[in-house]
Chain A
């Protein structure tokens, strides 16, 4: 009996060690010394990854000596997974970078400068991409990311049926805050007991950027080389925050946070889809679900309104491909990026309606400006010049989401005055200057 025990325990031990060893050495993956193996890591939804898979398949046919492994990670887990891979010495070769986390990758010296590849490649034209986004991904004249898409958060999606019912003209791209407020008030429906059955407006998440930018505020003194936060330095900040707060507490045209925290688990975009909100502030990435799910009304999009002094500005997202310095086959990685981010890849992306391609010719083509809603998508071509990218500071995300936004949480439902919150934000910003480490 004891002999059996010893035999079982030895087998158990060996199995554990062998499985562990296989896991750590990556055995089991087909390996061939004659071929170059690249790994590309991306977040993206099913449609985006289908495009990427198709492009990779085509790329492999054109380059039979290169094999590409696509690693798809959900958006929220993308950075944690990437950091773990890098720390574990199994980093991918090509990664997806967005404008918001570019500073962290750049200041970590993790990205390969692409200038030498660009200059040596007569078929690649950097000028084909939006210069604003190229500028964001360029530091000290070195380009680090080839942009895939640009995403000005400039879209006010609106329900055409509700505008008609309220006898309001559709918003044009020249409207301002006052006209926006007028429309929102006339689109809000209440029962005699005060219960709201339809709201005028909601934003995709609590967002202050379009308001503060169009009021004339800036997050920093210099976006490329920030040394000081300037967000709450002028009265324009008070104007912007008061306006958004008044939409909720004074005019009651925007859904208060108390209702938003848990509308049956649904997101804010569902409220627009279900006709509970007449206007929805977001980015163009909301188009595919809207096309798929909105059946009962017509909808379109207008550019975010101008501020009180006529300033037009809003934040912008966007993303692109970069090569990690640790990549052993940089030339092959460059070929891959150039191919998947070329005209064909950008056209396929544009046809989904999910994103505005970073390649200008494709953004201006019928692939993006198709006959499907929202028909006013062409406004995004103009919106690019008003788009403001995040400052190149490694602590921007923390200052924005961890410090400034929580200080404003109590403002939105009137529990804290705007002046008090502004003083608090000034103290916070003074104690946490922009960082480059």
Chain B
């Protein structure tokens, strides 16, 4: 009869064998390229010829600046523009999509006839959200002169169409347009919130009601804390994805990031540097900066999570 430790060993071998496809993928297709990108970020490489180690030169170009007549002149102003655009998009789109996701999930958490149909309808756009079709559709909606959105604004407010926002053609309105586009895919978050809402014990609501808590009070003291692990999960995923926005921007700006660099986000800039301008070393340095930003942002979220995230059965001092 095998000993306990032998059984454990066999179980461990089985576990690792099951995990092996993922582990091989992780090591060779994720960690390997990440390490290569870190090394390449210290090199000059155009992808066609040999790699030259140049130390910190890429980072010096990226972060370098000079001051002339009181004006700061960046060595690579497009890097700063892409950084600003990415943060702008993340800061506006993540809270907006999360709030809308929770609101729609609460609406979908009703026990009424045909609710499954509505859940499907709200979730459906998420299935299309990474595709080209939805970006093309939004391109049409945002058309300054013949788009649906400006027709609607003009109809409701009586502002002439010529004076409505120029959306994708305007450096001022192109980023808000991207944020509005991001609301299209709230369905994927909604499904997770819905699952979270259905996991909150009904007894807590009943107890709150007996204690005289209003609906709003119940939402603040029962729903939100109960939903906090799900909100935390969605927050991390949403921020990571929004830092990596690419498809929509590529389609609506024809890969340029215009007008006037107003939709040039980090990943689009990395793509341009690597595959349009043959600067893979510099593109790797940009990728490393993006990696660090995402890692720091995620670390901060985990660090402060215990202040607002409540897990079932958790004991707090």
Contacts and interface: CB of A to CB of B under 8 A. Distances in A.
Nearest to B81: A406
Interface in A1-31: 2, 5-6, 9-10, 12-13, 16-17, 20
Interface in A320-351: none
A360 B297 CA distance: 60
A264 B48 contact: no
A128 to B, nearest CB: 29
Contact of A402 (B18, B75, B272): B272
B18 A9 contact: yes
A16 B144 contact: no
A313 B73 CA distance: 35
Nearest to A394: B278
Nearest to B133: A265
A394 B46 contact: yes
A13 B280 CA distance: 34
B260 interface: yes
Given A6-B14, A12-B17, A402-B277, A264 B169 contact: no
A262 B142 contact: yes
Contacts of A265: 136-137, 139-140
B244 to A, nearest CB: 18
B49 interface: yes
With most chain B CB atoms within 10 A of its CB, the pick from A258, A403, A427 is: A258
A79 interface: yes
Contacts of A109: 49
Contacts of B46: 104, 108, 394
B277 A398 contact: yes
B140 A79 contact: no
A20 B13 CA distance: 21
Given A2-B10, A2-B14, A6-B17, A263 B146 contact: yes
A108 B170 CA distance: 38
A256 B146 CA distance: 13
B140 A264 contact: yes
A392 B14 CA distance: 59
Nearest to A83: B47
A10 B44 CA distance: 43
A403 B257 CA distance: 11
Interface in A124-161: none
A73 interface: no
Given A12-B21, A13-B21, A395 B277 contact: yes
A409 B75 CA distance: 21
Contact of B18 (A12, A87, A261, A264): A12
A168 interface: no
A262 B275 contact: no
A83 B274 CA distance: 9
A398 B20 CA distance: 43
A256 B143 CA distance: 12
Given A12-B18, A16-B20, A86 B276 contact: no
A46 B238 CA distance: 40
A74 interface: no
Contacts of B274: 80, 83
Contact of B48 (A2, A16, A86): A86
B153 to A, nearest CB: 14
B213 interface: no
Given A108-B46, A110-B49, A397-B276, A16 B139 contact: no
Nearest to A257: B169
Contact of A6 (B13, B252, B280): B13
Contact of A108 (B48, B78, B166, B260): B48
B206 interface: no
Contact of A261 (B75, B169, B255, B280): B169
Given A108-B49, A409-B171, A13 B275 contact: no
B256 interface: yes
Interface string A34-57: 000000000000000000000000
Nearest to B142: A262
Contacts of A20: 24
B102 interface: no
Nearest to B150: A258
A194 to B, nearest CB: 9
Given A2-B14, A104-B48, A406 B169 contact: no
Nearest to B17: A9
A410 B259 contact: yes
Interface string A372-411: 0000000000000000000000110110011101110110
A108 B280 CA distance: 13
B88 to A, nearest CB: 17
A259 B277 contact: no
Interface string B72-93: 0101001000000000000000
Given A105-B48, A108-B48, A263-B143, A413 B278 contact: no
A264 B147 CA distance: 8
Interface in B122-172: 136-137, 139-140, 142-147, 166-171
Nearest to A407: B260
Interface in B44-80: 44, 46-49, 73, 75, 78
A108 B45 CA distance: 10
Given A83-B275, A257-B169, A406 B261 contact: yes
B161 to A, nearest CB: 10
Contacts of A80: 274-275
A123 interface: no
A385 to B, nearest CB: 30
A110 B143 contact: no
B137 to A, nearest CB: 8
Given A262-B143, A406-B261, A110 B277 contact: no
Contacts of B209: none
Contacts of A238: none
Interface of A: 2, 5-6, 9-10, 12-13, 16-17, 20, 76, 79-80, 83, 86-87, 104-105, 108-110, 256-265, 394-395, 397-398, 401-403, 405-407, 409-410, 413, 427, 431, 437
23 contacts: A5-B14, A6-B17, A16-B24, A79-B275, A79-B276, A80-B274, A83-B274, A83-B280, A86-B47, A104-B48, A110-B48, A257-B259, A258-B170, A259-B145, A259-B146, A261-B143, A262-B142, A262-B147, A264-B146, A398-B272, A403-B78, A405-B256, A410-B171
Interface of B: 10-11, 13-14, 17-18, 20-21, 24, 44, 46-49, 73, 75, 78, 136-137, 139-140, 142-147, 166-171, 252, 255-261, 272, 274-278, 280
